Amino acid sequence: MDTSTLPSWRRCASRDAIEAFLEATRTVPVEQRVAVFDNDGTLWGEKPRYTQLDFFVRELKQAVERDPALGDRPEYRAVLAGDKDALAAFGLVPLVMALAQIHSGITPEEFTRRVQDFFASAEHPDRGVPYRGTRYQPMLELIDELRSRQFQVFVVTGGGAEFVRVISRSFYGVRPEGVVGSQIGYELDRVDGEPRLVRTTELSGDPNEGPAKIASIQRVLGQRPILAAGNSAGDIEMLEYAMATDGPSLALLVDHDDAEREYEYESVAGTLDAAGPVLKVADRQGWTVISMRDDWSTIFADA
Amino acid sequence: MDTSTLPSWRRCASRDAIEAFLEATRTVPVEQRVAVFDNDGTLWGEKPRYTQLDFFVRELKQAVERDPALGDRPEYRAVLAGDKDALAAFGLVPLVMALAQIHSGITPEEFTRRVQDFFASAEHPDRGVPYRGTRYQPMLELIDELRSRQFQVFVVTGGGAEFVRVISRSFYGVRPEGVVGSQIGYELDRVDGEPRLVRTTELSGDPNEGPAKIASIQRVLGQRPILAAGNSAGDIEMLEYAMATDGPSLALLVDHDDAEREYEYESVAGTLDAAGPVLKVADRQGWTVISMRDDWSTIFADA
């Protein structure tokens, strides 16, 4: 490959593995060129908090302004006070489900409008840039390169599908139906005889983490990936699944080891108990580990 | 529109309505140009039986050859004997779920291979042509015309998503992730440590008929259609939903009124109790009814 491709990737083992994979897939039938990317911590940053949590907190603050009694609910009080011990005690999924109740009864269109408002004005708490600027430039280059080779690129996130769909086209060039994520339940309602959907307070199915990612890929996309990229224990099964195909395959694991330009932390599952340090799994499985510190000359895309 | 478009559509009210819709949507933002088509009875024939039932019966016969004891199961005995009264007494969904058990424990890849085998050799029981030849030529022309106007076209079927995905690309130019259908459940299994999915005997979620089609469109596609086409009571909510959008919208209902070239019957829901004659609903709602007999100069596409 010439040096104009993947310009933010330094010469390194992960780049070599990507180039070898791209070369090997020249002979793979086009309809089998399927790549799946985790979102939080893989395509964009996930620290100090998941972006969707920032959105929920903002929505909660607005809801409490309208109805102060809401702030007495223990989960909400902990969120508003930033009480880390209390939040940890609730656990991520119960907390997210409590926050999702803010949007109970609204339509998908109204939910989309609120997410659009958030992305139009909110900024990343540490970096002071729009969230668009938390995307990882090298991953965008990889997506472009894959598409130029007729790969289909999908986002398979533990986050809410409807949240990510609002920005997937603009941030990653991925259409709404290409986003697989945790799914809020819907109820059918009628207003003046016309049907509409409204959000419920329950998930439809399991949170999209760990083994659930494999089943959701089959259910929603109906295709098997030969490239999977992730960063946390919640991505382990998806990466194993991509590697278990016949023919060329690639599993990419982003290691957040750049304390200076981003954050340095050990990735664990978003919503499940960590299945052990994910780097050890990667080592055992022979996955391609991407060191953000060493392998990427640029971290962030332009906002 | 010039006469080279929609060549199998005669000059008629349904064609006029389609042309008016296409003209009106010139100014609709591209990302809102979303069209959904029911499959059985809308894109291809559904008589004398759903194609998927023909597939199941063939698979059942092969399974009984391998294990004759299977033939003693009451549902299977009724299927093999063509006992219409017994079949009607079981009901469609329980019957289909009994037949789906033939494929319990196999992988999606193996299921796909069997469906491919079926379409490679089976013929429509009345017409003696491959099932590819049961597609409706005018609907293929409409899909082409929509695509030329930057519409995204999706298939929203009461049938099994995995069954339809095997042929959706070749029959309709719709990629697997563009097919929304009834979903079999999966279990995660490991062979030599590698993860794989196997089919269970239960549906994941509801049969994709009636109100379930609206929720599945939102969940799987994350977009709202402005054109919906169907033919049965199981499509009523989907058509209402498309019409309840702001801006130009179109609901198309195929009326099977051509006893000579196809079949003449009143369409009812596939898996639900019929919500009354669907033509009466269409009339009440102001939908565009397509008379196969009067509006289409050609019915079937080439096999």
Does residue B188 sit within a domain? yes
How many Cβ atoms from other residues are within 10 Å of residue A89's Cβ? 12
Q: Cα angle vertex B183, ends A101, B179, to 5°?
A: 95
- Which domain range does residue A71 map to? 51-105
Q: How far apart are CA A197 and CA A107, in angstroms?
A: 6
The least confident of A263-277, B130-144, B147-161, B287-301 is A263-277
Q: Do B195 and A241 touch (CB under 8 A)?
A: yes
End of a domain among B101, B121, B141?
A: B121
Does residue B197 sit within a domain? yes
CATH number reported for the structural domain that contains residue A32 in this entry: 3.40.50.1000
List strand residue ranges (DSSP E) for A192-284, in order.
194-203, 227-230, 250-255
At B106, the amino acid letter reads: I
Q: Which residues contact B176 (CB under 8 A, 6 or more apart)?
A: A221, A222, A223, B165, B168, B169
Does residue B8 sit within a domain? no
**What pLDDT digit, counting tens, does each position of B209-232 carry?**
999 999 999 999 999 999 999 999
Closest Cα to residue B288, out of B1, B8, B18?
B18
Phi then psi for residue A198, to 5 deg, are -130, 145
| Shared domain check, A58 and A18 | no
| Shared domain check, A257 and A174 | yes
| Shared domain check, A148 and A29 | yes
Q: How far apart are CA B151 and CA B240, in angstroms?
A: 19
| Shared domain check, B266 and B184 | yes
Does residue A42 sit within a domain? yes
Find which of A33, A184, A219 to mutate to test the B interface (most B CBs within 10 Å of its CB): A219
Nearest CA in chain B to A238: B195
From the list A154, A196, A214, which residue is nearest B195 (CB)? Answer: A214
The interface pTM score, or ipTM, of the predicted complex is 0.94
End of a domain among B97, B121, B145?
A: B121
A positions 140-159 inside 8 Å of B (CB): 152, 154
Taking CB atoms and an 8 Å cutoff, what residues of chain B touch A177?
154, 177-178, 220-223
Q: Where does A149-230 have alpha helices with state H?
A: 161-172, 211-216
CA dihedral B155, B161, B162, B168 (to 10 degrees): -10
**What pLDDT digit, counting tens, does each position of B177-219 carry?**
999 999 999 999 999 989 999 999 999 999 999 999 999 999 9
DSSP designation for A280: H
Tokens encoding B96: 């289909």
With beta carbons less than 8 A apart as the criterion, state whether B199 and B193 touch. no
Find which of B170, B177, B203, B214 to mutate to test the A interface (most A CBs within 10 Å of its CB): B177
From the list A177, A204, A224, which residue is nearest B222 (CB)? Answer: A177
Does residue B33 sit within a domain? yes
Q: Where does B122-183 have alpha helices with state H?
A: 137-148, 161-172
| Shared domain check, B44 and B56 | no
Q: How far apart are CA B112 and CA A170, in angstroms?
A: 34
Pairing of strands B34-37, B227-230: parallel
From the list A109, A162, A218, which residue is nearest B108 (CB)? Answer: A218
Does residue B244 sit within a domain? yes
Q: What's the gap in Å between the CA of A239 and the closest CA on chain B? A: 10
Q: Cα angle vertex A220, ends A183, A131, to 5°?
A: 55
| Shared domain check, B212 and B65 | no
- The answer to whether the pTM exceeds 0.80 is yes
Q: How far apart are CA B223 and CA A66, in angstroms?
A: 30
| Shared domain check, B117 and B91 | yes
Q: Do A222 and B194 touch (CB under 8 A)?
A: no
Q: What's the gap in Å between the CA of B137 and the closest CA on chain A? A: 25
* B178 interfaces chain A, CB cutoff of 8 Å: yes
Nearest CA in chain A to B211: A188
Find which of A177, A214, A220, A243 to mutate to test the B interface (most B CBs within 10 Å of its CB): A177
Q: Do B165 and A241 touch (CB under 8 A)?
A: no
End of a domain among B88, B121, B154?
A: B121
| Shared domain check, B174 and B27 | yes
Does residue A72 sit within a domain? yes
Does residue B303 sit within a domain? no
| Shared domain check, B34 and B117 | no
What tens-digit pLDDT sequence spans chain A (303 residues)? Answer: 666 799 999 999 999 999 999 999 999 999 999 999 999 999 999 999 999 999 999 999 999 999 999 999 999 999 999 888 988 899 888 999 999 999 999 999 999 999 999 999 999 999 999 999 999 999 999 999 999 999 999 999 999 999 999 999 999 999 999 999 999 999 999 999 899 999 999 999 999 999 999 999 999 999 999 999 999 989 999 999 999 999 999 999 999 999 999 999 987 654 444 445 788 888 888 899 999 999 999 999 999
The number of domains in chain A is 2
Tokens encoding B124: 């429509």
| Shared domain check, A55 and A26 | no
Q: Do B219 and A109 touch (CB under 8 A)?
A: no
At A186, the amino acid letter reads: Y
- The residue written with tokens 């983490």 in the block is A209
Closest Cα to residue A146, out of A16, A275, A286, A36?
A36
Q: What's the gap in Å between the CA of B31 and the closest CA on chain A? A: 9
Q: How far apart are CA A99 and CA A103, in angstroms?
A: 8
Taking CB atoms and an 8 Å cutoff, what residues of chain A touch B165?
222
| Shared domain check, A138 and A55 | no
Dihedral sign, Cα of residue A97, residue A103, residue A109, residue A110 = negative
Prior bond of A48 cis (ω within 30°): yes
From the list A31, A152, A194, which residue is nearest B240 (CB)? Answer: A194
| Shared domain check, A161 and A19 | yes
DSSP secondary structure, A89-141, as one string? HH-HHHHHHHHHGGGTT--HHHHHHHHHHHHHH-B-TTT-SBGGGGBBHHHHH
